[in-house]
Chain A
Amino acid sequence: MRIDTANVYYDHPFHAPLDHALGIDFISEADGGRERVAVELSGASARALVAKILAALASGEVEHGKAAHHAAAPVAAE
């Protein structure tokens, strides 16, 4: 499904056996917002996810930045 919005909240979960959970509802407002892909995470898991997201962005931007640089540089003729 298409996604254009992430609703993020820290509140009583519906399914997770926790008193409070970090919930993320991915929805498409443009399509009426009736369908969603949802996760409920503990606070610790949510913070770990944030760290993983930031780490993936950092390393990916470095890696792809290097790849782009190599693609642009002409190969020296033998």
Chain B
Amino acid sequence: MTYESMLAETVAFRGHNGDVGEAYYARPLGGGPWPGVVLIHHMPGWDEWIKEATRKLAHHGLATIAPHLYFREGPGSPDDVGARVRAAGGVADEQVLGDVAGSMEFLRAQPYANGRVGVIGFCSGGRHTYLAACSLDGIDAAVDCWGGNVIVDDPKQLNAKRPVAPIDLTAKLRCPLLGLFGNDDENPNRDQVNRTEAVLKKLGKTYEFHRYDGAGHAFFNAARPAYRPEQALDGWNKVFAFFRKHLAAAAAARAA
């Protein structure tokens, strides 16, 4: 009999400015060492689907932490907190990057960590993943799931909280990148995904982009009409294969 187990619980992590906040952390029990993954949640917030995705990654051998990026808004249900953040115009990129960096430190500090860390994000989290992969040291693999506004066509959309279009930082991308997109998505749309790929190719970056027909935005989410089971199954398998390839201890030996 094969025994599988995991632990999934709320933990405290130290993020941007040293602020201590909450995160949902799921990891395999026994065995190891395990690679780590930071999961960056989508705009609606730190919700049930994000926690399911965290457990799913742990089930596949990845110690995964999903920091609550809105924890500074104080106590309350995730939807009330998300509403306050939305009313305030979202959270600042600098703060998100600080929280991601703190989450990475959390993962590397665990006694069962293999030292390799990936980042995955969905929707606005996909954009944050792209940003993090271009800005933070120590990311060994990045997965951008349908992140919109990586390309910013209207400069008026840039503001103090989001001062730079992530595409403009691509020269600094410092790890392999996996991108998953639905061809029916309107943000990012097909043209924007193609233009992003063209920049990655021109700069000689290591990347894989996969585009799915019959799928739009957020097609992994079974709680939404956008859910597409076949495309989601294939997409998740690509995520697991990508992380296995780039986060295994053997990958570290190859990279050395």
Contact = CB atoms under 8 A, between A and B. Distances in A.
Do A and B actually bind? yes
Interface of A: 7, 9, 11-15, 17-19, 23, 25, 27, 33-36, 38
A14 B218 contact: no
A33 B210 CA distance: 42
A27 B86 CA distance: 13
Contacts of A35: 80
Contacts of B226: 19
Nearest to B78: A14
A18 B80 CA distance: 18
Contacts of B224: 17-19
If over half of A's interface residues share one DSSP class (helix, strand or loop), that class is named, otherwise mixed; here it is loop
Given A17-B223, A36-B80, 12 more contacts: A7-B83, A7-B86, A11-B43, A14-B82, A19-B217, A19-B218, A19-B225, A33-B84, A33-B87, A34-B74, A34-B76, A38-B83
A13 B44 contact: yes
Interface in B51-85: 74, 76, 78-80, 82-84
B211 to A, nearest CB: 18
Contacts of B78: 14
B45 interface: yes
B225 A7 contact: no
Interface in B217-233: 217-218, 223-226
A10 B247 CA distance: 38
Contacts of B84: 33-34
A9 B85 CA distance: 13
6 contacts: A9-B86, A12-B42, A14-B47, A17-B224, A17-B225, A19-B226
A13 B79 CA distance: 9
A8 to B, nearest CB: 10
A7 B87 contact: yes
Contacts of A27: 87
B76 A14 contact: no
A12 to B, nearest CB: 5
A37 to B, nearest CB: 11
B86 A15 contact: no
Contacts of B223: 17
Most buried by B among A12, A25, A36: A12
Closest 7 CB pairs of A and B: A14-B79, A7-B87, A14-B44, A19-B226, A25-B83, A12-B44, A12-B43
